[in-house]
Amino acid sequence: MQVYKKDFPIFSQTIHGKPLVYLDSSSTSQKPSCVIEAIAHYYQHNYANVHRGVYELSERSTHLYEKTRKKVQWFINAAHTHEILFTRGTTESINLVAQSYGRTHFKAEDEIILSEMEHHSNIVPWCMLQEQLGIKLKIIPVLETGELDLLAYEKLFSSRTKMVAISHASNVLGTINPLKKIIAIAHAAKVPVLVDGAQAFPHMPVDMQLLDCDFYTFSAHKAYGPTGIGILYGKTALLEKMVPYQGGGSMIEKVSFKKITYGQLPYKFEAGTPNMAGVVGFYAALDYLEKMGMKAIVQHEQELLAYATSKLKAIPGVRLLGTAPDKVGVLSFVLNDIHPHDIGTILDHEGIAIRAGHHCAMPLMEKYQIPACVRLSFGLYNSREDVDAFVAGMQKVHEVFN
């Protein structure tokens, strides 16, 4: 197994006297030196506002900003650069679609299809439309294995269905959803599909033209990039029909107090001075992913997942949540009557960072009838040794509680 850990300076420290074992990459990923350095370099050498000045620094800054947009386009194989919009993250991307597309295209009694495994960020924006417009939410159930019930999904469509909003991979179950099939079914009913790709993007190749989804969203901070920057991909035809999400500088062509002419794509959706350092840092993260190679990353993480799954299953009393055949490196479980927070505290004492709680997926917790669960999730810097440390940590949990 290749060792990527050396590229990430955070791992040079100890936590509670133990080497840091970070198993919470679904929540946010650690940053390689190249990303940290790119941000510092940008502030030190190239920083100025984008799309404004006629001076050298502003031109450099604009170049770096737009170069990232092109890189994202290339990375996810979008048909056009202007289909890549910079946002604050997945959450803002989904809110943008809900408020811009949704508020102008949906009316009372229209229906949106979501699934039971969605993260709150792909539930709440639609619930807000429920309150604002009186739309209805239809929910695809999750089977015991953690897979979507596709037969039930097909039956949810009606003449009032206006959108399907679905995660590419579940942040709790790890399930990779069969998007091609889900999208084909929706398109046959002439319904557009928004994909929440937050848990998929840095863990597998993602191809917009192959998937043929209408919107795709993800966050840089889960993909080894900085916080506060994310992507909304949208098909040109849909984005052109949409009204701006926020108003301000950059997104206009002409402004008078009587009439505003909005700018072209993608600027129509990027009001105000953007998170330029975030964009520059994201370029470095994409560059890093490219150098490591998505194929190698997938292989590394899948090997880890298989190793950790077998280790976890061998621990007495563990109930694994999500056993779909096709998964990203996410493992959630409960252990007898020991509460996940107690496990989290004990593991932290061993220098192991895991997530305990409802993982912003309360409907899913309800489905499995648990208040919370423990989750380990992998990034490319994790190794078999990390899994072994986790297993040893679970032994400590056993010692404390018995």
Q: Which residues bind another protein (CB under 8 A)?
A: 337-342, 345-346, 349, 356-358, 362, 365, 371-372, 396, 400-401
Pick 220 or 373: Cβ nearer another protein = 373
Element (H, E) at 341: helix 340-349
CA separation for the pair 132, 300 (Å, rounded): 45
Residues 364/60, Cβ–Cβ less than 8 Å: no
Q: Provide the minimum distance between the beta carbon of 346 and another protein in the complex, in angstroms, as a whole number.
A: 6
Q: Provide the minimum distance between the beta carbon of 150 and another protein in the complex, in angstroms, as a whole number.
A: 30
CA separation for the pair 289, 359 (Å, rounded): 26
Pick 133 or 360: Cβ nearer another protein = 360
Q: Provide the minimum distance between the beta carbon of 62 and another protein in the complex, in angstroms, as a whole number.
A: 41
Percentages helix, strand, coil for the chain (3-state, rounded to 5) are: 45, 20, 35
Max Cα separation, the chain? 73
Pick 141 or 357: Cβ nearer another protein = 357
Catalytic residue among 127, 213, 360, 373: 360
Q: Provide the minimum distance between the beta carbon of 374 and another protein in the complex, in angstroms, as a whole number.
A: 12
CA separation for the pair 18, 388 (Å, rounded): 14
- The string of DSSP codes covering 226-289 is -TT-EEEEE-HHHHHHSPPSS-SSSSEEEE-SS-EEE--TTGGG--SS--HHHHHHHHHHHHHH
The CA-CA-CA angle for residues 82, 170, 298, to 5°, reads 75
Q: Provide the minimum distance between the beta carbon of 17 and another protein in the complex, in angstroms, as a whole number.
A: 11
Q: Provide the minimum distance between the beta carbon of 357 and another protein in the complex, in angstroms, as a whole number.
A: 5
Give, rounded to a whole angstrom, the gap between the first and last alpha carbons of the chain.
Answer: 36
- Under DSSP, the state recorded for 50 is T
Backbone φ, ψ for residue 370 (5° rounding): -130, 145
Helices 276-292 and 294-313: angle between axes, nearest 10 degrees = 80
Pick 19 or 357: Cβ nearer another protein = 357
Pick 89 or 340: Cβ nearer another protein = 340
373 is catalytic: no
3-state secondary structure of 24: strand
For residue 87, list its beta bridge partners: 230
Residue 311, CA atoms < 13 Å, CB-side half-sphere: 20
Q: Provide the minimum distance between the beta carbon of 26 and another protein in the complex, in angstroms, as a whole number.
A: 17
Residue 231, CA atoms < 13 Å, CB-side half-sphere: 35
Pick 259 or 399: Cβ nearer another protein = 399
CA separation for the pair 85, 366 (Å, rounded): 35
Residues 333/374, Cβ–Cβ less than 8 Å: yes
Active site residues: 360
